[in-house]
């Protein structure tokens, strides 16, 4: 085995071991600083004060700002980069889909593979089980409703839910008021 192959093999073992620690040994609402340091050692960029619940699954590159909350079962599928700003809250089971395909011909509809990069602006809250697709950029101070499928860019101070609806910040305030009053869904 050559030097490069040995190095790649050792780095793979280090990554798998570290993810095992984060996802199984230190999983849950504790050991936040330990998990942050472990993840940073294997190439993640997790800012100070950020709390990762775990488990996480990431085949791409993950950059998270300061003072964020990353809920359980975060997934970054594909080989793209996900950049999350400061003071963001990512609820459980959020998926960032950074890989996809061009539309192929009639013999095979999944054509050539494509890698997407995605970003989440500072102060944004993404509800549980939301899915972020393609090269989507979510602005600052947004609220993404639970189970939303984000398929296009979302401007700053917006509320987005479902696969297509989005509201301005003023509508967002009204929705929050209704949500508090009826304890119902934001969407």
Q: Which range, of 8-12, 22-26, 173-177, averages the lowest pLDDT?
A: 173-177
Write a three-state SS string for 78-89.
Answer: CCCEEEECCCCE
Average pLDDT, the chain: 87
d(CA 52, CA 90) in angstroms, rounded, equals 10
* The pLDDT of residue 134 is above 90: yes
* The pLDDT of residue 173 is above 60: no
Q: Which residue has the higher pLDDT, 17 or 10?
A: 17
pLDDT, position 163: 58
Residue range 94-120: mean pLDDT, rounded: 95
- Residue 44: pLDDT band with limits 50, 70, 90: very high
Q: What is the CATH code for 44-182?
A: 2.160.10.10
pLDDT, position 5: 64
Q: What is the pTM of this model?
A: 0.85
pLDDT, position 184: 42
Strands (E), 59-117: 61-64, 69-70, 74-77, 81-84, 89-90, 95-97, 99-103, 110-115
Could you tell me where the DSSP H helices lie in 27-167? Answer: 32-41
Helices H, strands E: what count in the chain? Answer: 3, 19
Which of 33, 130, 139 lies closest to 83 in space, CA to CA? 139
Q: What percent of the chain has pLDDT over 90?
A: 77
pLDDT, position 10: 77
Opening angle at CA 50, ends 84 and 25, nearest 5: 115
pLDDT, position 62: 97
Opening angle at CA 59, ends 18 and 99, nearest 5: 170
* Burial group, residue 135, by CB count within 10 angstroms (0-12, 13-18, 19+): middle
- Active-site annotation, residues: 101
């Amino acid at each position: 085995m050559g030097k490069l192959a040995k190095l790649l093999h050792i780095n793979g073992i280090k990554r798998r071991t570290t993810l095992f620690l984060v996802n199984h040994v230190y999983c849950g609402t504790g050991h936040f600083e330990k998990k942050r340091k472990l993840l940073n050692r294997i190439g993640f960029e997790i800012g100070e004060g950020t709390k990762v619940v775990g488990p996480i699954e990431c085949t791409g590159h993950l950059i998270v700002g300061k003072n964020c909350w990353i809920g359980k079962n975060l997934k970054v599928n594909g080989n793209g980069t996900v950049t999350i700003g400061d003071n963001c809250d990512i609820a459980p089971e959020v998926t960032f889909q950074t890989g996809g395909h061009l539309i192929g011909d009639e013999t095979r509809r999944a054509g050539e593979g494509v890698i997407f990069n995605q970003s989440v602006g500072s102060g944004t809250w993404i509800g549980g089980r939301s899915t972020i697709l393609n090269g989507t950029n979510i602005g600052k101070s947004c609220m993404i409703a639970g189970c939303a499928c984000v398929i296009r860019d979302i401007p700053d101070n917006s509320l987005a839910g479902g696969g297509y609806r989005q509201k301005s910040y003023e509508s967002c305030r009204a929705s929050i008021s209704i949500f508090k009053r009826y304890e119902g869904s934001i969407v």
